[in-house]
Structure 1
Amino acid sequence: MALLGCTVADAPAPHTEGAGSLITTSGDGPVSHVLTCAIDWAGPVALPLASEADVQAACGITHVHGRRYGRPTPLPLDYAGAVTGVLAVTGVLAALHAAARGTRIGRVGTSVAQGALLATGQYLAAATADDEAWLPVLPVPGAAAPPFTSADGVRFEVETLHAEVWQRFWAALGADRPAIRRGWPPFQLRYATAVCPLPGELHRATTGAAYSVIRAAAARAGVSVVRVCGPGETEVVAAPSAPWSVTPLPVDRTAAPAPSPVLPSPAVPWPLAGLVVVESTTRVQGPLAGHVLALLGARVIRVEPPGGDPMRGIAPMAGGCSARFLALNRGKEVVEADLGTAGGRSTVRELVRDADVFLHNWAPGKAAARDLDAAGLAVVRPGLVHAWASGWGEAMGIAPPIGTDYLVQAGCGLAGLTARPGGPPAPSLMTLLDVLGGLVCAEGVLAALLSRAAAGHSRRVDTSLLSAATVLTTHGRGAASGPWETVTSVPFCTDLADLAADPRFGAALNRRECALPGRPWEFTA
């Protein structure tokens, strides 16, 4: 809240059971609106949760993060608490936005358990999908997950989204073809499974080459390589100072700004009811940002390529659609458009004409190349909030590495905080930054909507996986630190399907084709 420009002061508050509370006021002169945000540990989960370690253990974080180690392993930082902090501020901003449109909300409630369940949502969906053809990646004797180590002792991560590029890189390092072939499926699926058992031959190939040789081979093949940094280290050229930036665009004097619709009803089901979001995103970070806005009541229109997003068909399937895709996109409307054509881009402009927010996570430069950047779309829709969720933002220069979760974890030093205590820096194979990046993007959109309500005209919101990482790297190790065998007051979850079937989680989950976390807030007048 302080980073958003709010005045923050400690004040006595009534005693409440739980993790904490936030009281905020808005309005000029005498206080016109008092809003309380209450955060507790368990929320609707019927378990005696009383700490970060309890929540991680019970809600599946230790299970998912620990898959690479073969046993439940706590994250040695307050990840669930950080996620919930972003959710809490997002809920407060949504309530203040509703108040600006005539709907008073007096209390926002959330919990660390609900934040943790949202963070594990895609894994929970996959574990509860009724897909007999789904074969998860299993550990292989002699296999090991990244990072890799060079002959001169440099630990590094690699990234490519294309099988042929993967093949060229490893062939250049002298790896044999069967090992290269066996390595691609677990590497490609590591975002879905949180494991990556790569053949030992690939690790041996890197230990036989200096880091400079590996980087040169990667550049020729088209692979991104980033050194794994420990605490206090970084590969980042210019680190962001906040999780998001909200920039006013030049006032468009040819048309009056189009504010959000006023809803004079004293109560609406959710605070963003009536808002329209147009979303063109892929993978996890961008879709999750749109998902959060939809959970808050916005109408989200998703732009997909002709034939639909290929992610819809990735196993495991639930009711004819990918379970992981449902975890991020259920309930969104869909319009198909080929953005490589003038007609497809025209479709986006027509959708934006009646929207409040346009959200994308395209590669750097794509929005401008398509004439769908913030300045261009502000002419189409004065008052538009234009949000970009990227990997590195502009922090790695004009030719950044691929901006995906594990590379950003490695390059910004977060890998030194996620590793087991006493172990070398290693990114978590749980998608920590994809989740946190999506939440931070939604938070930035709400901040921009409030700013627009106050001053009118368009806003540009820039967030990235790297900027989201500042939420964790700024505070370092937290209450979950200590021996990785941390004793908690609740049993460790060892199977997400069992978690979903546990009646104590029933009020926090929705079960249709698969189990998904419910809305992580309660709003009351």
Structure 2
Amino acid sequence: MSGGPGLLAALRPVVAREVAAGLLRGCGVGVVEGELLEVGGELGCRISWAGPLGLAVGSEADVQAACGVMHVHGRRYGAPTPLRVDFASVAAGVLAATGALAALRARRFGAAYREVGVSVAQAALFGLAQYLAAATAPDQECAEPSGAGGPPFVAADGVRFELEALAADGWLRFWSELGVGRRVVGRAWLPFQARYGTASCPLPEELFAATRAVGYGRLVRVAAECGVELTVVAARPAVLGGMPWRLRAGGDAGAVREHEFGFGMGPLDGVRVVEIARRVQGPVAGRVLALLGAEVVRVEPVGGDPLRGVPPMTVAGGGGVAVSARFAALNRGKGVLEADLRSAEGRSAVRELLRGSDVLLHSLAPAKVAGLGLDAAAVAALRPGLVYAQASGGGPGLSTDYPVQAHSGLAALLAPDGLPPRPTLLTVCDVLGGLVCAAGTVAALEARERTGRAQHVESSLLSAARLLCGAANRAGGPGGAGGDGGVAVCTDLAVLARDPRVAAALEFGADGCAFVRAPWEFGT
């Protein structure tokens, strides 16, 4: 490329670099900015737009267009639509910081890592991993809900709100109380329930008409009676940025390493992680740690996680057993321990697993943790020095992605010009929340080795949303991805997966299902 160093500097992914540098400095690691981020005086961190991919991209908008972000976000609008925050750039910054912290920790044990590279395009594809897998799974016979529209709803007094119902009976009771017929309510349940995986939520107009006829105060009372959660959509973000995880030191870590470190699998080779998590946030965090070389063991209910059976299906591993393509995208490469945590036998099996592990990563509700014997104090007694990583929603009623977008004000940044605040149905908080949880976990591992003290790290969907809002604020508003950048806009993830320009970022299962590779390049 011609044009001199000034042009090269202008083409650097500024937001991604600022996010990475901020997170590293927040961990007490020195960063010197130049062509590379010089991390801790030992490691170079290279953040580019495309990395090893053959895409001609030089902005957040280019990446969103080329890598399918606009396509998935636009499903609720009926056409590809720019996501008006720098989602791919922020994800790249978090991934860069995670890779750098992992490499710094590995250097303490003699690894020869000198550089880590991440690209914004690879981060975008990683963020779409479950959508790419679903689009390329051979089992496409089960028609998925698709179409424009979706929440938030509006009350009679003009209050805009998100609704979350995790059980069909609560959903049915709520809408029945508002006078909506059972047939309409039943027809709406599938697209509503599936929206986390499809990024679309076409609901019958009868539901929106029902809320417009009732004041918000009464809606809140009905929701409470039915076990449904309502969240007001904020008009603007109230809190921006900040460190998206909190790290607290515990007692003496003692001698916790029992493995020989070869780093053949990555900088976390020799680390064992016990993951107790459902849905997206926790599994994304575990997937990141596995891609960095850790051994990750999922604790699932007896019979397996129910999400394993959600179509479309793929044969992702050995044995020819079919599993949900979305589930495989987030959980492949992990071991599994089936245990009923409600039983003494199941809890005993988990405790035994923890005794030989380095990290407990969970997204259990705080009210349940102590009763299961998995609170920080109980786990510390089992395994002194264990890193305790807790992922949450961020507060009462904020257990899932879309309410967090609404509450944080992120939804206000995401809406296209002229439209009122509305969350994207692309699971930005779940994905970024998982990346943040993984980054905090690696920061805790590095701090444990540096200080000799156990570590407790807490992160949340809300902290991830605030990080994204803060990045938009630094970029001068939600305009970092305001156009399509003049690049061809992806409108089919299955076609994108077969594009030779993105081949370096993907690998394929035996049946052709596409999975996203590790987004880092480690140099020695």
TM-score by length of 2: 0.90
CA shift for structure 1 position 516: 1.1
* Aligned residue number for residue 308 of structure 1: 304
Letter in 1 for 2:39: T
Deviations 1:18-58 (A, max 9, x none): xxx311125xxxxxxx2001011011221211110000000
Letter in 2 for 1:23: E
Letter in 2 for 1:40: S
- The more displaced of 1-10 and 353-362 is 1-10
Equivalent residue pairs, number: 492
* Aligned residue number for residue 118 of structure 1: 126
* Aligned residue number for residue 504 of structure 1: 501
Give yes or no for the alignment of 1:447 onto 2:443. Answer: yes
* Aligned residue number for residue 165 of structure 1: 170
**Structure 2 counterparts to residues 426-441 of structure 1, below 5 A:** 426-441=422-437
Letter in 1 for 2:154: T
Letter in 1 for 2:408: C
Mark the CA change 1:413 to 1:331 in structure 2 (over 3 Å): closer, same or farther. same
SS at match of 1:335: strand
Mark the CA change 1:483 to 1:332 in structure 2 (over 3 Å): closer, same or farther. closer
Mark the CA change 1:258 to 1:365 in structure 2 (over 3 Å): closer, same or farther. farther
Whether contact under 8 Å (2:236, 2:412) holds in the other structure is yes
Give yes or no for the alignment of 1:284 onto 2:280. Answer: yes
Unpaired segments ≥5 residues, structure 2: 1-23, 316-321
Runs of 4+ in 1 over 6 A off after TM superposition: none
Unpaired segments ≥5 residues, structure 1: 15-20, 27-33
CA shift for structure 1 position 133: 2.4
The whole-number CA distance in structure 1 between the counterparts of 2:212 and 2:261 is: 66
TM-score by length of 1: 0.90
Mark the CA change 1:205 to 1:441 in structure 2 (over 3 Å): closer, same or farther. same
SS at match of 1:249: strand
Report % sequence identity.
51
The whole-number CA distance in structure 2 between the counterparts of 1:133 and 1:212 is: 43
* Aligned residue number for residue 30 of structure 1: none
CA shift for structure 1 position 261: 5.0
* Aligned residue number for residue 4 of structure 1: 27
Whether contact under 8 Å (1:240, 1:466) holds in the other structure is no
* Aligned residue number for residue 272 of structure 1: 268
Whether contact under 8 Å (1:118, 1:517) holds in the other structure is yes
RMSD: 1.9
Higher helix fraction (1 or 2)? 2
Whether contact under 8 Å (1:169, 1:218) holds in the other structure is yes
**Structure 2 counterparts to residues 363-378 of structure 1, below 5 A:** 363-378=365-380
Find 2:256's aligned residue among 239, 254, 259.
259
Give yes or no for the alignment of 1:338 onto 2:340. Answer: yes
* Aligned residue number for residue 5 of structure 2: none
The whole-number CA distance in structure 2 between the counterparts of 1:519 and 1:232 is: 32
Mark the CA change 1:4 to 1:457 in structure 2 (over 3 Å): closer, same or farther. closer
* Aligned residue number for residue 489 of structure 1: 486
Find 2:77's aligned residue among 65, 69, 73.
69
Whether contact under 8 Å (2:161, 2:232) holds in the other structure is yes
Whether contact under 8 Å (1:509, 1:518) holds in the other structure is yes
Whether contact under 8 Å (2:265, 2:292) holds in the other structure is no
CA shift for structure 1 position 303: 0.9
CA shift for structure 1 position 483: 11
* Aligned residue number for residue 31 of structure 1: none
* Aligned residue number for residue 55 of structure 1: 63
Give yes or no for the alignment of 1:91 onto 2:107. Answer: no
* Aligned residue number for residue 518 of structure 1: 517
* Aligned residue number for residue 353 of structure 1: 355
SS at match of 1:301: strand
The whole-number CA distance in structure 2 between the counterparts of 1:241 and 1:500 is: 35
Mark the CA change 1:49 to 1:483 in structure 2 (over 3 Å): closer, same or farther. closer
* Aligned residue number for residue 45 of structure 1: 53
CA shift for structure 1 position 232: 3.4
The whole-number CA distance in structure 2 between the counterparts of 1:233 and 1:201 is: 33
Mark the CA change 1:264 to 1:441 in structure 2 (over 3 Å): closer, same or farther. closer
CA shift for structure 1 position 233: 4.4
SS at match of 2:472: coil
The whole-number CA distance in structure 1 between the counterparts of 2:215 and 2:255 is: 57
Whether contact under 8 Å (2:65, 2:484) holds in the other structure is no
The whole-number CA distance in structure 1 between the counterparts of 2:43 and 2:259 is: 20
SS at match of 2:163: strand
Letter in 1 for 2:161: F
CA shift for structure 1 position 200: 0.2
The whole-number CA distance in structure 1 between the counterparts of 2:516 and 2:251 is: 40
SS at match of 2:26: coil
Whether contact under 8 Å (1:42, 1:49) holds in the other structure is yes
The whole-number CA distance in structure 1 between the counterparts of 2:381 and 2:481 is: 54
